[in-house]
Amino acid sequence: MSKLTSLSEAIRQHVHDGDLVYAAGFTHLIPFAAGHEIIRQGIKDLILARATPDLIYDQMVAAGCARKVIFSYSGNPGVGSLKWLRDGIQNGSLEWEEYSHFGMISRLQAGASGLPFMPMRQTGALDLEKANPLYRRVQDPYGGEDVVVVPALHPDVAIVHVQRADSEGNAHIWGILGEQREAAFAAKRVILTAEEIVDEDIIRSDPNRTLIPSLVVSAVCHVPWCAHPSYTQGYYDRDNDFYLRWEEISKDEASVKAYLDEWVYGVKDRAEYLEKLGKETQERLKPGVRLSAPVNYGSY
Amino acid sequence: MPEAEYNATELMIINAARLLKDGDQVFVGVGIPNLACNLARRTHAPKLQMIYEAGVIGARPNRLPLSIGDPTLVSGALSVCSMFEVFSLYLQRGNIDVGFLGGAQIDQYGNINATVIGDYFHPKVRLPGSGGSMEIAAWANRCYIITPHQIRRFPARVDFHTSAGFLEGGDARAKTGVRGAGPQAVVTNLGILKPDANGELVLAALHPGCTYEQVQANTGWPLKQAEQLEYTAAPGAEELRILREELDPQRIYI
């Protein structure tokens, strides 16, 4: 059965005030269009979880959507910091819960696997373990040294962007996989956004690439350029210029408001954003072609 | 080799590259570590393999990566896996030879703070946090730190242990049972610090024209010298040519 719907409808139906949201994607496939739609709908008091909050959560914090962040690296890599997140933590207006990358994705892995917690080896660095009471230690029942454990994370809703999916939500992903699959399996509801909606035959032509199956997906949205200014492998490059510009934009309240007014509140949806972005930027970000060699699954 | 002009960043990259061995499996970040690895690959370590925390194994970037998950890392790579897999199958399992670390503060025993200046719950300055460094510092066979040598970056004690060096020194690290050998060198623009038998960072080498007094003035503890203090060779013309012409022609990092 088709789960195709508009992104605004999917957000309206599946993201509610106070929800724990996991917008997935490590540098790659970050669903900015969904973040912007959440801002437009004025959804509040969210707990925003991501390994790297990135610009998407800095914008959502700036727009007043969040009461808490859960993260493992809160910088704008190679550029600077995420100002609104950092200021919120420093002035006490934003709650936070912090892990290392491995701790963060281990929480998702436990959630995705139906386990209560995930063990990890000790690291010798105790300060974060002491600061975050959800880090615990458990005795190895087989006689080894104690392991560090983190509890399963079950987001109320995960938002996962992919290259292509069929209308039921069976999705192909390639390039950096981050925590896309774990987030989808760990969450209670999943909004899938895709660059392309394809026939089920295309999905079935390459089943090893289907990392997210329809059975965990709640809604499917066709959203070309959903990830801009992050990227979608093979479709468009990361807009590194914008990541640099955000450092300037985010510096004061007026310029953030101007940005949100123009690029979020000022457009109806991603299609309008894309039109506003313009052909020149789209051309600049278009990658060359590099095809993989086809494989023979065999006909049996 | 004739003496060449070079800047502090080039000096650090070239000295970091020289620490890498052919065949090393290196867990690498963007920026300076990435340049050091690519320089080593083009000189003495052609079989060095670059592994990125985003889950990219054996990257062969065609252009200078500008983010930790740059798409150029994927095209032409040997393998791509999930983040959980790269941290568990590669790092936790013990398949990583070298990890690169950075941070706002590095202390006398090679512990790193990338989390917070001041109290954790009432931060004076909030920094990005661990990312991958907590586990890299523990589980890579050896770790290298590359950082400019400034007094504020080298306090005697860090405000927060984001990742473990030799903790309080002595056998403190060994007692935790972590598998990696810990920080093996800190490469700065003045020289190279290495841990002594007690895990204390001592001055092991000076770069051309630098003095012990200069290093001590920029270090927050009484800095010992290694028994055999060494002097690094100046960056070579070929090392500089590869860096400037092939690896970072637009001078984004250098």
Sequence-ordered strand ranges (E) for A135-225: 136-138, 147-151, 157-165, 171-172, 189-197, 210-212, 219-222
pLDDT at B93 over 60: yes
Q: Is B62 exposed, middle or buried (0-12, 13-18, 19+ CB in 10 A)?
A: exposed
Tens of pLDDT, residues A177-207: 999 999 999 999 999 999 999 999 999 999 9
The verdict on a CB contact (< 8 Å) between B178 and A124 is yes
CA A167 to chain centre: 21
pLDDT for residue B4: 64
Q: For residue A286, is pLDDT > 80?
A: yes
Alpha helices in A91-239, H assignment, sequence order: 101-113, 127-131, 180-186, 200-204
Which burial class, exposed, middle or buried, applies to A154 when counting CB atoms under 10 A from its CB (0-12, 13-18, 19+)? middle
A20's enclosing H/E stretch is: strand A20-23
Is B76 in Cβ contact with A124 (below 8 Å)? no
The CA distance from A107 to A185, in Å, is: 12
Q: What percent of chain B is predicted at pLDDT more than 70?
A: 98
DSSP code of residue A191: E
Residue B2 pLDDT exceeds 50: no
Helix, strand, coil % over all residues of chain A, rounded to 5: 35, 20, 40
Which of A28, A57, A83, A127 to mutate to probe the B interface, most B CBs <10 Å?
A127
Amino acid at B221: W
CB contact under 8 A, B80 and A52: no
pLDDT for B29 beyond 90: no
Nearest CB to B128: which of A75, A108, A175?
A75
What pTM did the predictor assign?
Answer: 0.96
A121/B138 CB distance under 8 A: yes
Q: Given A125, A231, A233, which is nearest B161 (Cβ)?
A: A125
Give me the residue spans of the domains in chain B. 8-247
From start to end of chain B, where are the E strands? 25-27, 49-52, 56-57, 79-80, 98-101, 105-106, 112-113, 116-118, 123-126, 142-146, 183-187, 191-195, 201-206, 225-231
| CA B65 to centroid of chain Cα atoms | 17
The Cα B127–Cα B102 span in angstroms is: 12
Instruction: List pLDDT tens digits, range A226-248.
Output: 999 999 999 999 999 999 999 99
Structure-token pair, residue B236? 């070579």
Residues A29-46 as b/e (b if ≥16 CB within 10 A, e otherwise) read bbbbbbbbbbbbeebeeb
DSSP one-letter code for A282: H
B242-252 pLDDT tens trace = 999 999 999 98
pLDDT in tens, A240-271: 999 999 999 999 999 999 999 999 999 999 99
pLDDT band at A80 (very low <50, low <70, confident <90, very high): confident
Quote the DSSP letter at residue A186. H
- From chain A, pick out residues whose CB is under 8 angstroms from the CB of B82: 105, 177-182
- The residues facing A161 across adjacent strands are A193
- Chain A residues with CB under 8 Å of B118 CB are none
pLDDT tens sequence across A115-132: 999 999 999 999 999 999
pLDDT for residue B42 is more than 90: yes
Minimal-distance CA residue of chain B relative to A89: B126
Contacts with A145 from chain B: Cβ below 8 Å: 177
Query: Considering the domain A7-116+152-284, what is its CATH architecture?
Result: 3-Layer(aba) Sandwich (3.40)
The mean predicted confidence, pLDDT, of chain B is 95
Residues ≥6 apart with Cβ < 8 Å to A7: A33, A34, A37, A191, A193, A221, A223, A226, A269, A270
Which of B130, B135, B157, B163 to mutate against chain A (most A CBs within 10 Å)?
B130
Active site residues of B: 53
Q: What is the pLDDT of residue B3?
A: 52
- Closest residue in B to A126 (Cα) is B161
Can you tell me the distance from the alpha carbon of A268 to that of A256, in angstroms, rounded to the nearest whole number? 19
Helices (H) and strands (E) in chain A, counts: 11, 14
DSSP label at A211?
E
Q: Which one is the CATH code of B8-247: 3.40.1080.10, 3.30.70.20, 3.90.700.10, 1.10.260.40?
A: 3.40.1080.10
